[in-house]
Structures are given as C-alpha cells and as structure tokens.
Amino acid sequence: MTAAIDRMNLHLRQSGAVPSSRKSKRQRLASLIAATGGLRILERLPQQNCLVVLNYHRIGSPSDTVGDPNLYSATPSDLEEQVRWIKQRYHISTLDEAIAFVEGKTTLRKAGILLTFDDGYKDNYDYAFPILHKHRVEGTFFICTSYLGSSQLPWWDQIAFMIKTSRNSKVVLNYPEPLTLDLDDGKLQALNRLLCIYKTKHNLDKDKFLREIARSTGTGDERPCERIFMNKAELKEMSDNGMAVGSHTHSHPLLSHLSPELQLEEVSLSKQMLEQDLGIEIQSLAYPVGAPDSFNEHTQEALRRAGYRIAFSFHGGKNIAGKTSCYNVRRHHVGVTDGNALFKVRTSTAAVLGAPLF
C-alpha cells in the first residue's frame, strides 16, 4: 500500500496535485529576517495582552495521503521544533486560560499562545500527542464525533482522492453548473476549485455534487480502507493525559448552510457524545471551515443554548483583552510548506501586534 501511495504521489507532484515546496516571497523574507538577527529583536519587543491561537490540522507530509494535501500543517520534526521554540519564549495557554481570557476573568499580561488541532485525524494521536506530552504542553483537539475511529474519507478528502485518481484528464461537470476542469493544467488548482464550490455554494446538494465528481472522474466507489481518524480509546488517552478536547460538530457541515434546528442538533449531539465518552465537560467548539460565512447568528444562538463558552473561527484577526467575542475567537493557519523560519516570524509578530504581520 505504501509503495503504491509513493508511486501515486510521485505522479501527483509531477502533475501539481501536491503543494510545491518552492520558497514563497514570504518564506524568503522570513529567512532573511531570521538570518539577519531580526527574529531575536522581535522576540524581545514588548508583547500585547492578547491570545494568539495557532491552528493545525494534519501532522505528517502531504505526500503521505491519498486525500487532501492542503490539510497538512507540520511534519512531526517541525512540530517538535515549533513547540520547543514557543515554550522557550512565550506563555503557552491552556484552553481554560483562553476561556477565562475571552470572558474577561483574567488577563495574560503578555501574549498567550494556544495550540489547536482540528478534525481528529489519527496522525494527531500518533505524532502531535506524544510531542506535546513530552514537552508538557496542552494542545486542544477539536473532534468531529461522526468521524471517530472512521476509515471513511471526509468530503474534502473524497474530492481530493477522486481528482488524484481520475481516469479522465478533462473533468466535465454538469452540476451545480457546467464546468470543465483540465487536470493537465494542475490537479491542485482543480481540487481547490471544487473545494471552493463545496464550501461556498448555498443550497448545494452536497451528495449529488460528490456523485457528479465521481461520475465525471470515472472513479466510482474506489476508496482507501485504512483508518484515518483517531478512535474513542485514543481520544480518551489524550484527554486523560493533559490534552484538552472540544467539538468540531458531529458531521463537519458548513453550519451556516443548515437550518437553525439542524445547527443546534450538530453542536448539541457532538457535545453530548464527547462528554459521555470522556467524562468531562465540553465547553469549546471550532467552526468547520471557520470562514466568516461558515457560521451565523443562528449558530451562535445554538452554541448558547447548548452551553458552549467559547468558539473558534479560522480567518485571522486579533484577540485583544476586552475586545474579543467569545463566539468568534480568531485563529491563524499553520502550513507545512511555510517552514520554521516563517512560522517563527509569524508567531513572534503576532505576540507583538496581536496577529501575524504576514
């Protein structure tokens, strides 16, 4: 299986379906800042009284997956370097401290850095948990309860898998509107176009859209069968050993696309299931996708009714003391292709300014 994935990913790198490791302008600038001593100056500047929330997804290499390569945030060695670096320089917040901060019950005096991980992939248990545990640092893991222990690909990985294994170089869709994607122009671009439609098109019949991609790519029902999400026992082990857990809904829908009743069901069911499995109170949620239009006032009303105290988005911005909405706590993306120099410059500028400079 591994050799087959390696062969497929070699082909995918050549066809542009795996993110390029070529250095971006931001990476080159960050390397220059680090090489000329700018990072040490940034680390010594006065810090804001703010909460900086970093958002990871998968840990590993994009070339390891048959699914969406965009999901990778760090290799295990990069994550360990990042945790060690932050711990030596900044205060790493716990989820309880973050809740007290947004509720105005405490100030952090300096910047607090909260480490969060979305979706509950098994690689979070395999790689992130041992690293955080070794360094005695709390991470917060947002779990989709319907994915626990699952080997089924979630919608974003399904779309990626179908594009990667397409039998046709031209993918011609008739739903939700006529669209032709030429995979020879780049599989990653085609994948991102389809993900964008899924995430942003209101009233999209999502099952019909997935069937349409399967038809147009000629991929049918082929699916990998290895377990990709952590199971209940693994999550319980993490929770019992210093990790915080929050909800990422039950089935990872775009909440704002659902009726108020269904939104309440999604956030209530996942909370109840996690509380039952773990024997702890679940007080936090991360919105699936987390863009400004991924949640709405009905979502926030549902969170209030279900008893959540804090909810995290994923579209940047600052969490300054006294000015942070408890149901829209901002988070910042960590990307595997960023590299550690860019990670350090982004994190240290966020500690000074409240959000990364670039």
Contact set with Zn ion (CB under 5 A): 118-119, 288
Least Å distance, CB 252 to Zn ion, is: 6
Whose Cβ is closer to Zn ion: residue 97's or residue 119's? 119
CB of 248 to Zn ion, least distance (A): 6
Contact 102, 217 (CB under 8 A): no
Give the CA distances from residue 312 to residues 13, 118, 139, 233, 315, in Å, rounded to whole numbers and listed in that order: 33, 11, 14, 25, 10
Reply yes or no: is the peptide bond before residue 356 cis, omega within 30 of 0: no
Look up residue 284 and give its DSSP letter.
E
Q: Residues 354, 320: contact at Cβ < 8 Å?
A: yes
Cα 109–114–117 angle (5° rounding)?
Answer: 175
Q: Which is nearer to Zn ion, 27 or 247 (CB)?
A: 247
| Element containing residue 140 per DSSP (H, E) | strand 139-143
Which C-beta is closer to Zn ion: that of 70 or that of 166? Answer: 70
Cross-strand pairs, 119: 143
Q: Using CA atoms, how far apart are residues 36 and 61, in angstroms rounded to an integer?
A: 29
Specify the residue, 48 or 249, whose C-beta has the smaller distance to Zn ion: 249
Shortest spacing between CB 63 and Zn ion, in angstroms: 21
Q: How many distinct helices (H) and strands (E) make up the chain? A: 14, 12
* Distance separating alpha carbons of residues 100 and 77, to the nearest angstrom: 32
Q: Which is nearer to Zn ion, 30 or 230 (CB)?
A: 230
Minimum CB distance to Zn ion, residue 119 (Å): 5
In the bound state with Zn ion, the residue whose beta carbon lies nearer, of 199 and 223, is 199
